[in-house]
Amino acid sequence: MNAPFPTVESTAAPLRLIIAAPRGFCAGVDRAIEIVERALVRFGAPVYVRHEIVHNQFVVDGLRAKGAIFVEELDEVPDGAPVIFSAHGVPKAVPAAATERGLAWVDATCPLVSKVHRQAERQIEAGRHIVFVGHRGHPEVIGTVGQVPEGTITLVETEADVAALDFPAGTGLAFLTQTTLSVDDTAGIIAALKARFPDIAGPKAEDICYATSNRQAAVKAIAPECELVLVIGAPNSSNSLRLVEVAQRSGVCSELIQRASDIDPRWLDGISTLGLTAGASAPEQLVREVVARIAEFRQITEETVVTAEENMVFKLPRQLAD
């Protein structure tokens, strides 16, 4: 639950708007969207996409208008049609089934998620059981669990889940994590795993992606100066929800919004400093839309706080590369 909003009467004083940077699209999202757009040019419309390519309705609607058709399962894709797998990754059985049907498929899985998939395979080859830190039901978790044989991976979401683990003596263990988790929460869970299982193996570098870490750090930087932080993102976007939590844990009210129309003008009553950020699936266009909407209610002074520079670019799949 969010903390209650201040009840100070509305004021006409200028509103200081602090915009976090980095924010918005990450390299994996940029790549996934470009894959769909290039596939539409290469194959012609329609192109089918299994699951939302990224968790943002504005982006999905834009691609749908260009000829993309979004489906949840492979059996919804007609024979002979091209299909793209979302940035979150899919179980191994999905591309295998697509190949068996003779479908032309393109994998838009974020390379940082694919790296976790390869780590999972290597741990199983080494004879270890994997403890995977993630949110049950999230597409990325489903995709990662589907990389390894059934029964070789156990999902944990909290430190309490770690305490409840029960493995036979001598079981070799390794841990991996979803890429879009809370940095702080995950650190606590990993610490609990290492305390409970001192010999557990882990990745050389953390699995939480650079964009997730950077956006959370940016919110931590601006939150102490704000009375309210707005996060642009979808309710099914893990990294966006984590940004809301980061702000709230800094003692600041925070709201998740998908579009400028979600803003309740009453939120701005008594507010002198407002923070703004966007999840990794939200385009900069929505940030500017929100700024324009706020300016309809209050005179604003806008500033950007930069905590990191991002210049990551991922290669496209060979089918779509120039």
As a whole number of angstroms, the distance between CA 147 and CA 198 comes to 26
- pLDDT at res. 103: 95
Low-confidence ranges of the chain (pLDDT < 50): 1-11
As a whole number of angstroms, the distance between CA 270 and CA 211 comes to 32
Q: Are 174 and 144 in contact (CB under 8 A)?
A: no
- pLDDT at res. 206: 75
As a whole number of angstroms, the distance between CA 98 and CA 50 comes to 11
63 CB burial (10 A radius; 0-12, 13-18, 19+): buried
CB atoms within 10 A of CB 4: 7
Active-site residue among 140, 255, 289, 309? 140
In the chain, CATH 3.40.1010.20 covers 15-25+210-306, 111-196
Third-level CATH fold of 15-25+210-306:
Cobalt-precorrin-4 Transmethylase; domain 1 (3.40.1010)
Third-level CATH fold of 111-196:
Cobalt-precorrin-4 Transmethylase; domain 1 (3.40.1010)
- pLDDT at res. 25: 97
Q: Is 296 in the active site? A: no
- pLDDT at res. 3: 46
Strand 273-278 to strand 15-21: parallel, antiparallel, or no bridges (unpaired)? parallel
Q: Are 99 and 77 in contact (CB under 8 A)?
A: no
Which sign, positive or negative, has the C-alpha torsion 141, 315, 99, 66? positive
Give this prediction's pTM.
Answer: 0.91
Third-level CATH fold of 27-107:
Rossmann fold (3.40.50)
pLDDT per position as a tens digit, 268-320 = 999 999 999 999 999 999 999 999 999 999 999 999 999 999 999 999 999 89
- pLDDT at res. 12: 58
